[in-house]
């Protein structure tokens, strides 16, 4: 068994998630919920941790170093865990868990929703409704278009299935070619033919700024770009540059390279360099930005809550998570 006091503090919990977790929460676990990140919460509250406390976060919280002696385990309620790497490297005695399997379909559907919206110029259609104009609103059908899917893991393969079923010609790029049905290409191949590029890669030390000048100088003029994985892989400043020179005709993002600070600034209506850049890219007519919400469906929230409690129970009863951060 884990040397734990059965206290768990949840951060970054929205209302529907809190209700779902509470539904599955055993009576012998003492849970405290905070809607905001650790850094936002600590601005207004003095959070005192007892020895062997478990904390649970999502992707935007920054864990204070001074908490390390009081924490027995950290559970990130996300499929990615790159945001834990730095803290984990410095504090190896703490146990780390994540949720790898709860949201692949919902994120894939969100990616495809964004794709369709860009292809049919939906942001511009909405903006022009008041004047009932159609000039400049001509979009594209899916059939016969070429899609490049970069990163084909649990989420990527769901995007692949949806895209193929709707009529896209889909090619993939991944270091590990796990799926026989996918036509893989190498990252240095000619990519001029692709109408749509979707990023579904996990973030690791080798792919920061993967989508950079070298990449976008090789793409088809007028192509669309969608990112539902991690913002650090495709910085907003680069995407803004290639929207400005019309290499890209549309961009849709659910993730952002400065997300931890950006989210706090936007929630608190603060102006800084992060928010200025976001406001700049929002000026483009065919841009969609969502608040890291691709996972958020009723079905996924229930799966996530159930997996969260399974992780906590395994930790308390067996001394380890079911799904441990590698």
Q: What is residue 240's DSSP assignment?
A: H
Residues 245/200/204/2 CA torsion (nearest 10 deg): 140
**Strand locations in 206-315, DSSP E?**
223-227, 248-253, 287-289
Contact present, 199 and 151 (Cβ < 8 Å): yes
pLDDT computed for residue 35 by the predictor:
96
Contact present, 308 and 21 (Cβ < 8 Å): yes
Q: Which domains does the chain have, with CATH numbers?
A: 7-102+298-318 (3.40.50.720), 104-289 (3.40.50.720)
Q: Give pLDDT, residue 6.
A: 84
pLDDT of the residue at 44: 84
Mind giving me the DSSP string for 9-73? Answer: EE-S--HHHHHHHHHH--TT-EEEE-SS-HHHHHHHS---PPTTEEEEE-SS----GGGTTTEEE
In angstroms, the CA 24 to CA 297 distance is: 18
pLDDT at 1: 47
Distance of alpha carbon 71 from the chain centroid: 25
What is the structure's pLDDT at 152? Answer: 97
pLDDT value at position 4?
Answer: 58
DSSP for 133-147, written as a single string: --TT-----STT-EE
d(CA 251, CA 199): 11
| pLDDT at site 324 | 98
Question: What pLDDT is attached to residue 185?
Answer: 97
Q: Which residues pair with 199 in a beta bridge?
A: 150, 227
Predicted structure pTM score: 0.93
d(CA 205, CA 19): 36
Give pLDDT < 50 ranges for the chain.
1
């Amino acid at each position: 068994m884990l040397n734990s006091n059965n206290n768990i503090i949840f951060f970054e919990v929205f209302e529907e998630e809190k209700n779902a977790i509470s539904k599955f929460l055993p009576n012998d676990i003492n849970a405290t919920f905070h809607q905001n990140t650790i850094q936002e919460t600590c601005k207004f509250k003095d959070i005192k941790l007892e020895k062997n406390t478990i904390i649970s976060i999502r992707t935007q919280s920054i864990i204070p170093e001074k908490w390390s002696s009081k924490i027995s385990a950290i559970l990130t309620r996300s499929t990615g865990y790159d945001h834990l790497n730095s803290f984990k490297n410095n504090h190896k005695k703490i146990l780390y868990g994540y949720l790898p399997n709860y949201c692949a379909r919902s994120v894939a559907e969100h990616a495809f929703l964004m794709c369709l919206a860009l292809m049919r110029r939906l942001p511009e259609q909405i903006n022009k409704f008041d004047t009932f104009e159609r000039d400049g609103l001509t979009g594209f059908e899916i059939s016969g278009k070429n899609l490049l899917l970069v990163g084909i893991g649990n989420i990527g393969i769901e995007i692949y299935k949806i895209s193929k079923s709707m009529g896209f010609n889909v090619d993939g790029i991944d270091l590990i070619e796990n799926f026989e049905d996918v036509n893989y290409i190498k990252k240095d191949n000619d990519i001029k033919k692709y109408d749509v590029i979707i990023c579904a890669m996990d973030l690791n030390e080798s792919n920061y700024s993967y989508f950079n000048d070298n990449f976008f100088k090789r793409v088809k003029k007028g192509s669309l770009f969608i990112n539902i994985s991690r913002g650090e892989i495709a910085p907003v400043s680069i995407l803004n540059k290639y929207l400005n020179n019309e290499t890209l005709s549309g961009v849709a993002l659910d993730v952002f390279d400065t997300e931890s600070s950006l989210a706090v600034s936007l929630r608190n209506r603060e102006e800084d360099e992060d928010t200025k850049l976001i406001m700049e890219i929002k000026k483009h007519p065919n841009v969609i930005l969502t608040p890291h919400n691709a996972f958020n469906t009723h079905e996924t929230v229930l799966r996530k809550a159930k997996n969260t409690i399974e992780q906590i129970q395994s930790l308390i009863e067996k001394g380890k998570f079911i799904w441990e951060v590698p």
